[in-house]
Chains A and B, each alone.
Chain A
Amino acid sequence: MGIINKKGKLFGVINIIDFAVILVIVVLLGGAFVKFKVLDKTSTNVELVPITYTVEINGVRDYFLENVKEGDKLFDQTSSNCIGTIIKLESKEATEEMEFPNGEISYVPSEGKIDIVLTVNGEGVVNDSGYFINKTYELLRNSKRNFFTKYAMCEGKILDIYEQ
């Protein structure tokens, strides 16, 4: 006897299409069980803690400052997820690298441009691997990232991280 007989039945017991339907339903039920009963249990065990970090934005035109305010939410441009709220805004005249005729190179003031430091409050997890806002957005000192608020967008660098 073959696997499928002349009537189209698998091992002479069940129709191949009926078997496929049963298989799909079993897989869907299994997937739903894993998603809602197994995965959920592990993910809710992690406790979120407040994390404060600073972001440095260098050499932007001075109009930028008028478009960012304390209280604005900060978002990650890659995921569009909220990664905290701006609680403090500091600015100073920007500096840029200049080469002088004698060969000396130094940072000098740049008219019309500013450096901004944003202090941001977020929630996340802290573990042996590092700091993760909303469990997924990893904070790394000195890493360049693209950020945006409801009113402005920019590139910045994470300066410092403080666990409260």
Chain B
Amino acid sequence: MEKKKFKINIFDIIIVVLVLAVAGGLYAYTHRDTVIETKKLEYVVEINDCAEGFSENIKIGAKITDGLKNYNMGTVTEVSAEPYTVSVANTDEGRFVESEVGGRERVLLTISANVTETDSNYAVDGYYVVKAGKEVFVRGEGFAGEGYIVSVKR
């Protein structure tokens, strides 16, 4: 049987060059130096419709995570509580008024976190985007709740 001669032509070289270029590009992309600068940001989260005394379960220094995706949200630096209110129709006065709900409280957590900053966002650890008006589902050691981010300090 005739032995086939090993011969390299120009197209084989082009294929090798293309494969090497793609492999090199992939390596460079996946081994980029990722130096991300972070800064401290403080923001306030309200947890609504909690049983009276709930705030006592949350300690300064508690780590908070996002209950949906488990992202780090930061560390609690301040805890306070105020009566929980809901908007009800007062037809006598012709207006909606904020009415206190007995036995319930609204908990306000000030949270400090390391964030990355872009033109449009602050994100804790580069993942959890912080904005006033955002609905949050928080989880800490031994507690959970839902509410909104009400303030992002400038």
A111 to B93, CA, bound (A): 12
Say whether, besides A100-B91, A111-B87, A67 and B133 are in contact (CB < 8 Å): yes
Kindly state whether residue B132 has any CB partner on chain A within 8 Å: yes
Kindly state whether residue B152 has any CB partner on chain A within 8 Å: yes
Question: Quick one: closest A residue to B11, CB to CB?
Answer: A18
Q: 8 Å CB contacts to A: which residues of B75-118?
A: 85, 87, 89, 91, 94-98
Say whether, besides A82-B119, A150-B119, A15 and B11 are in contact (CB < 8 Å): yes
B110-154: CB near A (< 8 Å → 1, else 0) gives: 000000000111100000000111100000000000000011101
Q: Which of A30-38, A46-54, A126-134, A151-159 forms contacts with chain B?
A: A151-159
Kindly state whether residue B35 has any CB partner on chain A within 8 Å: no
Q: How many residues of B contact A (CB 8 A)?
A: 25
Say whether, besides A15-B11, A18-B9, A21-B15, A111 and B132 are in contact (CB < 8 Å): no
A99 to B134, CA, bound (A): 30
Kindly state whether residue A80 has any CB partner on chain B within 8 Å: yes
Say whether, besides A18-B9, A82-B120, A98 and B89 are in contact (CB < 8 Å): yes
Say whether, besides A111-B96, A112-B87, A153-B131, A148 and B11 are in contact (CB < 8 Å): no
Q: How many residues of A contact B (CB 8 A)?
A: 36
Q: 29 A-B Cβ contacts within 8 A? A: A18-B9, A21-B15, A60-B133, A63-B150, A66-B132, A66-B151, A69-B154, A82-B120, A98-B89, A98-B95, A99-B89, A100-B94, A101-B91, A108-B94, A108-B96, A109-B96, A110-B95, A111-B96, A111-B97, A113-B87, A148-B131, A149-B131, A150-B121, A151-B132, A151-B152, A152-B131, A152-B132, A153-B132, A153-B133
Say whether, besides A80-B120, A150-B120, A98 and B150 are in contact (CB < 8 Å): no
Say whether, besides A17-B11, A100-B91, A110-B87, A64 and B133 are in contact (CB < 8 Å): yes
Nearest CB of chain B from residue A23's CB, rounded to whole Å? 11
A5 to B119, CA, bound (A): 61
Across-interface contacts of A80 in B (CB, < 8 A)? 120
> Do A151 and B87 have beta carbons less than 8 Å apart?
no
